[in-house]
Chains A and B, each alone.
Chain A
């Protein structure tokens, strides 16, 4: 590997406050009982964050309800849209600051936050801004109606991007929101609250309540919310589905995945290797749609693995703020322990573990990019979502076997196909039980393109007009 001099992005681009209260009714409240949020790359404390209580949640829902009844539902769609355009523009203006903040709080490489996360955040608001005065064209019948107050709970893997996926369509459709960011990554959501202030968004339209799982549960269970949108683990998704049973709350759940990335013998191998790398090592594998099961046609296994291992040897793991870093920090100690435990379990069940030589920084949470070879379909690492940079390798002989193995999971979020044969792509795309199928590419996202899963990967879609429909009731 070439030796590169360190090329760190400047931390001075962002200035966190020492402590944050909730953002409710257009104002930051005084911090309550707090906990520390850290930089997972070096374990240094970034700020004190308020641990939201049931009372805080109630206050936020009341503010959202009042804003919905008195202001937001009375505003013409064209005016709502203009607020969203304003927000999109301010995100673009403050893009580098947001990228730095995200990397500091999440641990993902700056090149990803700078080139993927934050541009998509701006694009999401820009896209849904245009829908706000065109709801009649969303395919739901004439004059579809907003639902009311949306309770939104998001994960730590793409903190600001998940916020955008939730807030942009909700506001465009005419709802107001209370959003709870993940406990480990609240900072960009709080910067977003500042952006709402700069955009002069009416008070109470967006409310941010920080805290842990019980804060989220109080929000989801609040009797005055009309919509629940959650992205996170299938385990918590089940709890939420039970919690809302018997209510009128409309629900969308974006849950776990165990995507198969299928490589046929006629695939363009060098491109496939890049796609496999991107599929599993993008964002340290903290991606619900990660291509975490490599299904390679038996005849090319040796050749592909040689290329893949060679490519993995050139991945740079380390300081996420360094512009050359490919693999940053695992988001938390808890997640690191979970990855380690699952990989050990996989080894115990017969898989062979391989990682390139790789220096792990002393402080912070890191996990080397890892292949699990000779994985049987029953192995834990072939079945459970690891949510880390760990790729389980399996083989197949026929297209039918590839489909059967790919679909042999409770999940159904995404899948990848690598082949030069167009007819095979189209047939497999029909047969794979996955909400997103990437053919000769992987991990592509766009606000116009609906995203979401089959089976236990959840229900509902985010992105596109389907993502808008999740926040509307219509007559068709």
Chain B
């Protein structure tokens, strides 16, 4: 009998797969309480490194054409489809879901990537506009990504909740630092392997595993983070207070559903800025 080769579950920062700089790991159990794997326990330093990586990647990603971003997001769906069995196995092991239920979750995650992929070049058509100002001016409002988003994926969803946290942020050109579910982290790490092979520039998505409550204050108070998504946090009132220090845009727990095959345009635009440009008309 051959001994199988197990995976080392690491972080995903700047397109690379480092261990936590703290050297810490924590054991993850399956739905029956049996040991599954040791997973990296991200530290404050890891969170800060992830923000630096996200900031470095953000302007390039936002500067890519909407068509290009759409193709990359669609590619993520393709890669996810190809690896579906791995996700199904991990979801089943972690949650005790049936094969059918686990497949449904993977289906929904793939479909949500496709739904988001189609939005990249349509947001402005729906949420932006020319403005008929009362004067001799050309005036147009367009939307652009707000910058670096720190996000906390729902704790009770292994894959779909995470996808519906990442996709609405990056579709418009944001970079994201996302903390996965603490107890269901394996599909998050496997998703990073999908992201790494989807032509997504390194640093656009950074995934941390570990204790949400430990990492959250560092991200909520980080001065180079533009927006925060508090969905998967426990201490959300205190975190919203910390986020006020540099007036981060805040998505509160429960603001948007995370378990659908479609996202929400409002979710996408809440992580964007409306920019209005004026120019005189004349000879």
Contacts and interface: CB of A to CB of B under 8 A. Distances in A.
A435 B247 contact: no
Contacts of B134: 123, 446, 448
Contact of B266 (A429, A439, A476): A476
Given A234-B247, A241-B244, A253-B247, A454 B146 contact: yes
A466 B141 contact: yes
Contacts of B250: 241
A476 B252 CA distance: 17
A443 to B, nearest CB: 10
Interface stretch (A182-190, A214-222, A373-381, A456-464): A456-464
B126 interface: yes
The number of chain A residues touching the other chain, given as a range, is 35 or more
B274 A439 contact: no
B274 A450 contact: yes
A440 B281 CA distance: 10
A28 interface: no
A435 B246 contact: no
A454 B266 contact: no
B245 interface: yes
A446 B140 CA distance: 12
Contact of B135 (A234, A238, A444, A458): A444
Interface string A118-137: 00000100000000000000
B61 to A, nearest CB: 14
B129 interface: yes
B247 A451 contact: no
Given A464-B141, A476-B264, A446 B131 contact: yes
B67 interface: no
Contact of A238 (B126, B133, B247): B247
Contact of B129 (A434, A441, A465): A465
A139 B133 contact: no
B240 interface: yes
Interface in B229-276: 236-238, 240-241, 243-247, 249-250, 252, 264-266, 273-276
A379 to B, nearest CB: 21
A439 B275 CA distance: 13
Contacts of A253: 247
A98 interface: no
Contact of B277 (A140, A437, A459): A437
B274 A242 contact: no
Nearest to B246: A456
B246 A446 contact: no
A441 B274 contact: no
The number of chain B residues touching the other chain, given as a range, is 35 or more
A255 B276 CA distance: 17
Contacts of A201: none
A425 interface: yes
A248 B265 CA distance: 20
A440 B133 CA distance: 16
Interface string B123-137: 000110101111101
B137 A441 contact: yes
A435 B275 contact: yes
B180 interface: no
B277 A246 contact: no
Contact of A435 (B243, B276, B279): B276
Contacts of B278: 436-439, 441, 444, 449
Contacts of B127: 139, 466
B245 A464 contact: no
Given A241-B244, A448-B133, A439 B277 contact: yes
B279 A238 contact: no
Given A446-B134, A449-B133, A455 B247 contact: yes
Contact of B274 (A234, A430, A455, A466): A466
B265 to A, nearest CB: 4
Contacts of B241: 242, 245
Given A245-B244, A246-B236, A448-B132, A474 B266 contact: yes
5 contacts: A123-B134, A253-B247, A430-B144, A436-B277, A459-B249
Given A245-B237, A436-B277, A440-B279, 4 more contacts: A140-B266, A241-B240, A449-B276, A466-B274
